[in-house]
Amino acid sequence: MELDRPLGHAIDEAARRVLPGGVNSATRQVGAPYAFTAADGAYVSDADGHRYLDYHAAFGAVLLGHNHPAVRQAVLTALDGVDLMGLGVTPIEVELAELACELIPSAEMMITTMSGSEATVQAVRLARAVTGRSLLVKFQGCYHGWGDALARNVISKPESAYGRDPLSAGLLDSAVDATLIAEFNDLDSVRALFESHPEQIAAVFLEPIPHNVGALVPTQEFVEGLRELTRQQGALLVFDEVITGFRHALGGYQQVCGVQPDLTAFGKAMANGFPTAGLAGPRELMERFAADVLLAGTFNGHPVAAHAAIATMRHLRDNPDFYLRTHRLGQRLRDGLGEITAELDVDATVSGFGGVFVLYFGTGPVSGYRDLMRNDHAAYAAFHRRMTGKGFLMLPMALKRNHVSGAHTDADIDLTLEAARDVLKEMRADGLI
């Protein structure tokens, strides 16, 4: 049943008069609920006072829970100190970089940016400068931000997958065509690109777990094979850990799999929702930013965001049971959804890792994007929308993932699974599955 949202409607209508589409990022425009006014712990509230258990978590940026006391206190402390200088360096920037290099296995130096998209743009430029090559490789289904070089082939329709599928109008043909598309978990598809473009590929970009299409989990052989192949071919291996970084382990997925990339982009969860991100790697590569690779950004290393990031990272470092707990809750959700779909005889596949969970509507196994083309996108979105209608906030778009934060509890998981069973029963009764 649709909730009454008169204030939300009014805010949405006002927003559309002054913001394109009524939002500041295209994927935020998904209909009700329209506007949010409060957030605390695992819950958010909309303008009409409806409360939701939050599994969207700002695309995963909120890791500890909304308004976490340690992060909040760090931000208040920042406001009593230096604000934006735009010259030289502040001690808090140094502290942030030292902490990131301590925690991320492959990091010796880092730069700070305002968003993950900026971090991957910097990685592209650096990779081309270091190798003297122009071509890039990405995987169908992976998203690496809005930068021209990588803005193609994410949630592609079957007729566009693996072909030419740019994400936006206004991209130069040369920028789109300089990026080649491979299949996730298929090392031969990457090897074939190197063979057909000898000594032309600067870097291979990888979401270690492609969370932008839910959760495709890599095989160990695939990740290790990519590391070996890129070294053999003289190309850089770039891990885009903007989502996996800090969420799945303190050192990101590279800590989990034991494979170190040449460059690592990270962001989102590192500051529990405050706007900062970074790019890290070995000294010999990163020092090019002090030589001939442009590094610019007035707000880079902003003290408020830096304080929030340090507080978040310290909390994770000093509370090692955080990951045990969120992984356990995530597994409870995955196991519970698997039991419910089996009980109801629903054609579905559960996937995820750590605190991330996904319910695909189609038969498994799911290892690459070709498998996702079996997914019933309409049923996927309907499940999320109906769960939201029952008070469990899930982005009602195909292939979008759900996140457990440090604020979720076992009782929350129980309520979620109970609601999921009801929603799946209703969808079956309505002929949606």
Same domain, 402 and 303: no
Q: What are the tokens at 342? A: 């089996």
Tokens 């759900």: give the residue: 402
User: Does the annotation mark 268 as catalytic?
Assistant: yes
Domain assignment present for 289: yes
Sheet strand arrangement including 356-360:
349-353, 356-360, 402-403
User: Nearest 5°: phi and psi at 15?
Assistant: -65, -40
Can 138 be counted among the known catalytic residues? no
Percent share of the chain, pLDDT over 70: 100
Q: Which helix (H) or strand (E) holds 201?
A: strand 201-206
Residues 42 and 25 in one domain: yes
Residues 124 and 271 in one domain: yes
Pairwise CA distance, residues 32 & 397, whole Å: 13
Quote the percentage of the chain above a pLDDT of 90: 85
Residues 219, 242: Cα–Cα separation, whole Å: 20
Kindly state whether residue 138 falls inside one of the protein's structural domains.
Answer: yes
Chain mean pLDDT for the chain: 94
Q: Is residue 1 pLDDT above 60, yes or no?
A: no
Cite the beta strand spans of 274-418 per DSSP E.
277-281, 349-353, 356-360, 392-393, 402-403
pLDDT at 37 over 60: yes
Residues 346 and 421 in one domain: yes
Which stretches does DSSP call E strand in 207-241?
Answer: 236-241
Neighbour-count burial for 287-300, b at 16+ CB within 10 Å, e otherwise: eebeeebebeeeeb
Position 7 scores a pLDDT of 86
Question: Is residue 1 situated within a structural domain?
Answer: no
416: pLDDT confidence band, cut at 50, 70 and 90?
A: very high
Annotated active-site residue in 34, 143, 253, 360: 143
Mark whether 186 and 289 lie in a shared domain: yes
Instruction: Find the farthest-apart pair of alpha carbons in the chain and give their distance in angstroms, rounded.
Output: 64
Domain boundary among 272, 303, 318: 318
The predicted-structure confidence for 210-241, as pLDDT tens digits, reads as follows 999 999 999 999 999 999 999 999 999 999 99
Annotated active-site residue 400? The verdict is: no
CB atoms within 10 A of CB 365: 8
The reply to whether 204 falls in a domain is yes
The CATH number covering residue 270 comes to 3.40.640.10
Residue 98 belongs to some domain of the structure = yes
Question: What pLDDT, on the 0 to 100 scale, is given for residue 2?
Answer: 62
Q: Is 217 a member of any domain?
A: yes
What local confidence, expressed as pLDDT, does residue 34 receive?
Answer: 84
Q: How far apart are CA 382 and CA 412, in angstroms?
A: 21
Q: Which residue has the higher pLDDT, 153 or 405?
A: 405
Cα 121 off chain centre by: 16
Shared domain for 36 and 155, answered yes or no, is no
Residues 76 and 25 reside in one and the same domain: no
Rounded to the nearest 5 degrees, what angle is found at the Cα of 91, between the Cα atoms of 86 and 96?
A: 95
Last residue of a domain, one of 318, 338, 369: 318
- Give the separation between CA 33 and CA 270, rounded to whole angstroms: 27
pLDDT of residue 33: 84
Angle among Cα 75, 46, 26 to the nearest 5 degrees reads 80
Same domain, residue pair 288 and 171: yes
**Is 81's pLDDT higher than 90?**
no
Q: Among 48, 54, 240, 371, which one carries the catalytic annotation? A: 240
Of 318, 351, 386, the one marking the end of a domain is: 318
Tokens of 177: 């065509």
Distance of CA 170 to the CA centre of its chain: 24
What SS3 class is residue 181?
strand
Q: pLDDT (tens digit, 9 = 90+) per residue, 240-283?
A: 999 999 999 999 999 999 999 999 999 989 999 999 999 999 99
**Enclosing domain of residue 362:** 6-67+320-429
CATH classification at residue 379: 3.90.1150.10
Pair (303, 336) in one structural domain: no
Q: What is the pLDDT of residues 298-327, one digit of tens each?
A: 999 999 999 999 999 999 999 989 999 999
- The reported pLDDT for the residue numbered 424 is 98
pLDDT of residue 320: 87
- 133 and 219 in a common domain: yes
Pick the catalytic residue from 34, 148, 262, 268: 268
Average of per-residue pLDDT across 68-87: 90
> What is the full DSSP assignment across 33-58?
S--EEEEEBTEEEETTS-EEEESSHH
Assigned domain for 126 exists: yes
User: Do 122 and 251 reside in the same domain of the chain?
Assistant: yes
With H, G, I as helix, E, B as strand and everything else as coil, classify residue 142. coil
Model pLDDT for residues 347-380, shown as the tens digit of each residue: 999 999 999 999 999 877 899 999 999 999 999 9
Overall domain count for the chain: 2
CB 235 within 8 A of CB 244: no
The single-letter DSSP state of residue 399 is: T
The verdict on residue 284 lying in a domain is yes
* Section 21-39 average pLDDT: 85
Shared domain for 271 and 416, answered yes or no, is no
Residue 268's nearest CA partner among 317, 207, 216 is 207
